[in-house]
């Protein structure tokens, strides 16, 4: 939302007009009727003019809402004084995150009554402008102005029973400084009050941060408050924002900071903590648009319950004293869609507060025990008020299965510890420590995860020799539970492109671990992008991939027919041949009488390519055979022959 001092930037369609109208309702004390608009035209410009009825109450500020089609229109206001219109003064204007609607504000130190005002919006011919709703307010009796640093702070003693929600602090959303001197701390805490901002809902981080800046600017500059009116705000995703500063900004929320008196309930801010949900949640305010139809989703409602629970416990507020803004004054805030949920919020918070007191989580770590076993060590601290509580330890593997792995009865105030051997191969294991009291209600101490320690650290290399073999070497720099080593060949497109997924891995070696190892891969034709992977396995067969490396090539300087593997063989053997230049190639099998038994490869082959052919000899008689490779390049023919033996 943008604010300008004189220039008004607005556009159609009217989808957000109801939001600004709702803001006028929520932030003024008296709505003011507007007379029918009239127009004036002068030198190609047009003036949209609208006057109010007579205002009998005292006021020093005016709010209006509307929309228009021109992106640059000047707006001014003047008042009927001494039987004439006063000197025009500029209006401040705020724009929502998107859309055409705007809210305009005027504020002065001068208090007026028994008068009326006239608003003029000047723009170009052909522009449509509408001023819809108006209201006035008087802010010289706000509590923060009357107290002015005279209140004494209440004493806060956090119980630590409930985890504080994550709070996005003022420094994170780049708040303006508190606009007044000597902020007043809350002298006591009686109410938690729910509001809505009557501002467009924020759908992402950027929009939420922008909303915070715009709402603060509107509250300080437009409404004349010392700061943003609420102590806390929450967006549609349940992210919690700090509104007003704490008396000591160095105090984290978990420690129960002293809160500053806000400006969110007329004449009812002392002892009252306000939470405002970003959005417009009051459908009756809608006038043909979707602008005020927001509903709290389940994630937002859960976050609201979490906030109310923590605040009620920390600041000792009775859930029966949870309120909506409308419970204090004539307003639709926090909107029907929020207000209807207050009973559910009270019920859920009472259930949370009735749970047995949870212990304070101390730590969770994974460690290697004897014989390379992996253990989780969970610690939690129990105070005197939690003695007699039974704590159940739950484990959830990455497959989602949850099981109880133990229980501990707290017989004294101390730090308790539980060890659990991890036998699964899950990379991440989540533990929960749950407190069970005399009733049936549970309270979770914590839910946190550990990551399995590495089995080993190692490296691998692979080199394709000029003879078409792949030398694979590996070694380990760290062994923390290594039992076996496995080498896998990773082929782009899969070894069988028809059945294998892309970059499928094939095991070619598995053996007991040694600090260093090597092997020769004879069974696969080298190809660009060929990779080899080093995996470590512990005694439970749990696997961790340690390293992967692409093979480097040393190409031969002439055509080659590599030795068949295996040889002797049954039932099949693999041939690999290297083509130096683009060539026509035929690889055939002959018996010793010179008869051609099989053709294994025939056709054109590219330069610098290793190729593979397999002879399935199960139907041929046992004996010796000749493999003959004929390569024709540029009219020249090269023949290479190799003896192979089929055994049965």
Q: Domain 360-449 adopts which CATH fold?
A: Immunoglobulin-like (2.60.40)
560-646 shares the fold of 360-449: yes
Place of tokens 């024709």: 632
Cα→Cα distances 428→84, 173, 366, 450, Å: 77, 33, 11, 6
Cβ-based neighbour number of residue 418 at 10 Å = 18
Give the span between the Cα atoms of 65 and 198, in whole angstroms.
12
pLDDT at 382: 77
* Nearest-angstrom CA–CA distance, 481 and 425: 13
Residues belonging to the chain: 648
Contact criterion met (CB below 8 Å) for 89 and 76: yes
Q: Which comes out higher in pLDDT, residue 112 or 503? A: 112
Residue 582 or residue 1, greater confidence:
582
- DSSP labels for 203-255? -SHHHHHHHHHHHHHIIIIIT--SS-S-SEEE-TT--EEE-SPBSSTTS-GGG
How far is it, in rounded angstroms, from Cα 630 to Cα 585? 6
C-alpha to C-alpha distance for 556 and 576, rounded to whole angstroms = 13
Residue tagged 């009735």 (tokens): 354
What pLDDT score was predicted for residue 497?
45
**Tokens representing 630?**
């004929």
Give the Cα separation of 19 and 98 in Å (integer): 11
pLDDT at 300: 94
Q: If you average pLDDT over residues 216-242, what whole number do you get?
A: 94
Q: Please determine, for residue 417, whether its predicted confidence score (pLDDT) is greater than 50.
A: yes
| Strands 7-8 vs 73-81: parallel, antiparallel or unpaired | antiparallel
Tell me if the bond preceding 571 is cis, omega within 30° of 0: yes
For 428-482, what is each residue's pLDDT tens digit? Answer: 778 777 776 433 334 444 455 566 677 888 889 888 887 778 889 888 888 877 8
The secondary structure of residue 573, as a DSSP letter, is: E
Could you tell me which residues are beta bridge partners of residue 55?
115
Distance, in Å, from the CA atom of 376 to the CA atom of 418, rounded to the nearest integer, reads: 8
Task: Please name the residue ranges forming H helices in 413-532.
Answer: none
Do residues 148 and 300 make contact, with C-beta atoms less than 8 angstroms apart? no
Higher confidence at residue 327 or residue 415? 327
Structure tokens at 524: 């696969």
Question: How many angstroms separate the CA atoms of 170 and 276, rounded?
Answer: 15
Q: Which helix (H) or strand (E) holds 345?
A: helix 342-353
Following DSSP, what letter does each residue of 160-172 receive, concatenated?
A: --SPPPPEE-TTT
Residue 36, pLDDT > 80, answer yes
pLDDT tens for residues 48-106?
999 999 999 999 999 998 887 765 667 899 999 999 999 999 998 876 655 567 788 99
438 or 541, higher pLDDT: 541
Q: Are 44 and 124 in contact (CB under 8 A)?
A: yes
* CATH H-level, domain 145-353: superfamily: Peptidoglycan recognition protein-like (3.40.80.10)
Give the domain 456-553 fold.
Immunoglobulin-like (2.60.40)
How many whole angstroms from its chain centre is CA 373?
35
Cα–Cα distance, 175 to 259 (Å, whole number): 17
CA 436-440-444 angle, 5° bins = 40
Cα distances (angstroms) measured from residue 161 to each of 70, 86, 348: 55, 60, 16
The answer to whether 232 touches 253, Cβ cutoff 8 Å, is no
Q: Is the pTM of the predicted complex or chain greater than 0.75?
A: no
Domain boundaries, the chain: 3-139, 145-353, 360-449, 456-553, 560-646
Closest to 219 in 3D by CA, of 181, 174, 264, 183: 264
Assess contact for 464 and 576: CB atoms under 8 A: no
Reported as type and span, the H/E element at residue 342 is helix 342-353
At 601 the pLDDT is 94
Looking from the CA of 130 toward its CB, the CA atoms found within 13 Å total: 14
Q: Is residue 591 within 8 Å of 572, Cβ to Cβ?
A: no
Name the DSSP letter for residue 154: P
Give the fold, CATH level 3, of 560-646.
Immunoglobulin-like (2.60.40)
246 with 205: CB under 8 angstroms? Answer: no
- What tokens were used for 399? 């497959």
Q: Higher confidence at residue 556 or residue 394?
A: 394
Return the biggest CA–CA distance within the chain: 129
Question: pLDDT for 232-249, tens place per residue?
Answer: 999 999 999 999 999 999
Chain centroid to Cα 456, Å, comes to 32
78-82, 295-299, 311-315, 344-348: the lowest-pLDDT one: 295-299
- Residue 116: pLDDT over 90: yes
Query: Which residues are within 8 A (CB) of 77 and not within 5 positions of it... i.e. 6 or more apart?
Result: 62, 88, 89, 90, 91, 106, 117, 118, 119, 120
Q: Give how far Cα 524 sits from Cα of 294, 459, 463, 623, Å.
A: 62, 22, 13, 25
Tell me how many degrees the CA angle 397-400-403 measures, rounded to the nearest 5: 65
Confidence of residue 46 (pLDDT cuts 50, 70, 90): confident
pLDDT for position 304: 96
Cα separation, 568 vs 240, in Å, equals 74
Structure-token match 């022959």, residue found: 641
Radius of gyration of the chain (CA): 39
Long-range CB contacts (< 8 A, 24+ apart) of 351-354?
A: 351/441, 352/162, 352/305, 352/309, 353/309, 353/312, 353/313, 353/319, 354/439, 354/441
Over residues 607-618, mean pLDDT: 89
pLDDT at 22: 61
| CATH class (in words) of the domain with range 3-139 | mainly beta
How far apart CA 315 and CA 631 sit, in angstroms, is 89
Backbone angles phi, psi at 245, to 5 degrees: -70, 160
Tell me if 451 sits within 8 A of 426, measured CB to CB.
no
Strands (E), 322-427: 322-324, 360-368, 374-381, 390-397, 402-409, 415-421
Q: Are 550 and 472 in contact (CB under 8 A)?
A: no
Predicted confidence at residue 493, as pLDDT, reads 66
């Amino acid at each position: 939302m943008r604010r300008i001092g004189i220039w008004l930037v607005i556009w159609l369609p009217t989808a957000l007009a109801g939001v600004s109208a709702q803001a006028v309702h929520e932030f003024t004390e008296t709505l003011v009727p507007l007379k029918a608009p009239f127009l004036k035209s002068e030198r190609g410009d047009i003036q949209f003019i609208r006057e109010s009825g007579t205002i009998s109450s005292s006021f020093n500020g005016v709010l209006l809402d509307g929309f228009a089609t021109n992106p640059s229109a000047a707006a001014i206001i003047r008042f009927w004084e001494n039987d004439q219109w006063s000197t025009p003064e500029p209006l401040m204007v705020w724009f929502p995150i998107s859309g055409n609607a705007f809210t305009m504000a005027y504020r002065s130190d001068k208090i007026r009554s028994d008068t009326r005002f006239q608003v003029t919006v000047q723009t170009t011919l052909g522009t449509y402008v509408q001023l819809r709703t108006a209201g006035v307010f008087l802010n010289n009796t706000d509590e923060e102005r009357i107290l002015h640093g005279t209140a004494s702070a209440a004493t806060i003693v956090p119980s630590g029973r409930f985890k504080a929600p994550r709070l996005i602090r003022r420094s994170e959303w780049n708040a303006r400084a508190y606009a007044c001197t000597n902020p007043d701390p809350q002298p006591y805490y009686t109410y938690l009050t729910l509001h809505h901002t009557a501002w467009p809902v924020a759908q992402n981080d950027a929009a939420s941060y922008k909303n915070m800046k715009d709402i603060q600017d509107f509250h300080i500059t437009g409404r004349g408050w010392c700061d943003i009116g609420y102590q806390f705000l929450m967006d549609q995703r349940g992210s919690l924002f700090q509104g007003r500063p704490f008396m000591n900004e160095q105090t984290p929320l978990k420690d129960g900071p002293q809160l500053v008196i806000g400006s969110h309930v007329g004449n009812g801010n002392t002892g009252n903590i306000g939470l405002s949900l970003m959005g417009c949640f009051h459908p009756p305010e809608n006038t043909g648009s979707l602008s005020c139809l927001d509903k709290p989703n389940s994630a937002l409602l859960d976050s609201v319950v979490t906030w109310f629970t923590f605040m009620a416990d920390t600041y000792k507020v009775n859930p029966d004293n949870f309120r909506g803004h409308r419970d204090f004054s004539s307003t639709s805030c926090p909107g029907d869609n929020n207000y209807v949920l207050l009973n559910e919020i009270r019920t859920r918070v009472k259930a949370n507060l009735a749970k047995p007191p949870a212990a304070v989580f101390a730590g969770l770590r994974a460690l290697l025990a004897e014989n390379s076993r992996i253990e989780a060590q969970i610690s939690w601290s129990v105070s005197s008020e939690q003695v007699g509580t039974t704590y159940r330890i739950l484990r959830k593997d990455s497959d989602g299965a949850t099981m109880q792995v133990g229980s501990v009865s707290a017989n004294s105030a101390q730090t308790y510890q539980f060890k659990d051997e991890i036998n699964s191969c899950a990379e991440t294991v989540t533990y929960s420590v749950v407190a069970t009291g005399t009733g049936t209600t549970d309270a979770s101490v914590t839910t946190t995860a550990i990551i399995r320690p590495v089995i080993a650290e190692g490296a691998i290399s692979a080199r394709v020799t000029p003879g078409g073999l792949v030398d694979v070497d590996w070694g380990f720099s760290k062994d923390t539970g290594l039992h076996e080593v496995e080498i896998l060949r990773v082929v782009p497109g899969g070894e069988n492109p028809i059945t294998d997924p892309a970059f499928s891995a094939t095991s070619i070696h598995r053996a007991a671990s040694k600090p260093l190892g090597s092997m020769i891969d004879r069974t696969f034709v080298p190809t660009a992008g060929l990779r080899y992977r080093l995996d470590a396995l512990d005694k439970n067969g749990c696997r961790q991939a340690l390293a992967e490396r692409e093979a480097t090539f040393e190409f031969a300087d002439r055509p080659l027919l590599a030795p068949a593997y295996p040889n002797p063989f049954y039932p099949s053997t693999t041939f690999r041949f290297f083509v130096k230049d683009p060539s026509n190639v035929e690889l055939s099998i002959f018996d010793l009488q010179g008869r051609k038994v099989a053709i294994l490869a025939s056709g054109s082959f590219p330069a610098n390519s290793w190729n593979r052919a397999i002879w399935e000899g199960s139907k041929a008689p046992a004996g010796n055979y000749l493999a003959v490779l004929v390569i024709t390049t540029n009219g020249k023919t090269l023949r290479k022959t190799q003896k192979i033996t089929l055994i049965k």
